[in-house]
Amino acid sequence: MAIDFPNSPTTGDIHTVSGKQWQWDSEKWIAYGSSLAPDVLKVDSGNNRVGINQTSPAYSLDVTGSARITGDLTVSGTTVTVDSASVLIKDRVQFEGATANDYETVLLATDPTADRTITLPDSTGTVALTSTVLPLTGGAMTGAITTNSTFDGVDIATRDAILTSTTTTANAALPKAGGTLSGTIVAADQIISAPVMKDYAETKAAMAAHDVDLTLGNVQTYTLSGNQTLTFSNPPASGSAGSFTLIVTNGASATLTWPTSVDWAGGTAPTLTASGIDILTFTTIDGGTIWYGFLAGADMK
């Protein structure tokens, strides 16, 4: 049977005759077997490309729509690009590493019981394991924190951020076995159990107006100028003990009235120095309902 081929074909053109598919390779018509509609399978021999549901394939294999591979897929190239919002993986991703051997790193997800989201921080660093870092919400230290300790390469700025944040990121956690703090830690009235303190200091503050505000520090200074009445504020909650030291200058130069909550040793307020320094200590165990007051040193020289 004679085949009536089109005149002046263009390279890659498909022609179907009696159930057979032919393609022009710029010199001759080549038969490819059973006929498929050109919008289903496009063989672009001129560019060595095949399209599935793609009449103008741009790649060696160009597929439009879903594709299913029932066996293993081996990709020998260096880059796999996934232009998709979601990649569905059953339970693990396995990393071979730079050396093809018997050892791999497996990223494994526990079978979820609800939708979960793990957000990676916008930061450069090493992801630390929960077994080797100290979480902000608790944890047991296994080594001394000294100026010679390191944070396993985590940058200082990231660590500073975690000390004042309620969100813990893996590359900003304090390792259990040591580390050097570079910022303030706010314990927020949480328990720090069984520490061994060395070379520590207490915050000293000048009394604000005529109020001993314990949030400013546990050692405060005060110079009396004219008759004044003192107040004590922000003690620890009832059930916790709290104390402070008050260094008073010229305490007897005028009338100094103490809070009625102060319970003095012997029931009488001490006589202070008119021109000099006296040191007093105060302790409470009931949230400031009662302050036990003591004269620790009079007329200090």
So what's the pLDDT on residue 98? 87
Q: How far apart are CA 53 and CA 106, in angstroms?
A: 36
Q: What is the tens place of the pLDDT at every residue in 212-231?
A: 999 999 999 999 999 999 99
So what's the pLDDT on residue 141? 57
Percent residues over pLDDT 90 in the chain: 34
List helix spans (H) across the chain.
156-163
Q: How far apart are CA 53 and CA 40, in angstroms?
A: 4
Q: How far apart are CA 79 and CA 57, in angstroms?
A: 20
Amino acid at 86: S
Enumerate the β-bridge partners of residue 205.
220
Q: How far apart are CA 283 and CA 236, in angstroms?
A: 10
Per-residue pLDDT of the chain (301 residues; tens, 9 = 90+): 678 888 888 998 888 776 677 888 888 888 765 555 656 777 777 788 888 888 788 988 888 888 888 888 888 888 888 887 788 888 888 888 889 899 999 998 889 899 989 888 888 888 777 665 555 555 555 555 544 444 444 455 555 555 555 444 555 566 777 777 888 888 888 888 898 989 989 999 999 889 999 999 999 999 999 999 999 999 999 999 999 999 999 999 999 999 999 999 889 999 999 999 999 999 999 999 999 999 999 999 7
So what's the pLDDT on residue 260? 96
Q: What is the tens place of the pLDDT at every residue in 74-108?
A: 888 888 888 877 888 888 888 888 898 999 999 98
Amino acid at 105: T
| Tokens linked to 235 | 């003690």
So what's the pLDDT on residue 202? 92
Q: What is the tens place of the pLDDT at every residue in 148-162?
A: 444 444 455 555 555
Q: How far apart are CA 84 and CA 202, in angstroms?
A: 56
So what's the pLDDT on residue 149? 44
Query: Smallest Cα–Cα separation from 174: which of 150, 199, 148?
Result: 150
So what's the pLDDT on residue 150? 46
From the DSSP assignment, how many helices (H) and strands (E) are in the chain? 1, 20
Q: Residue ranges of the domains in the chain?
A: 14-63, 121-194, 204-300
So what's the pLDDT on residue 179? 76
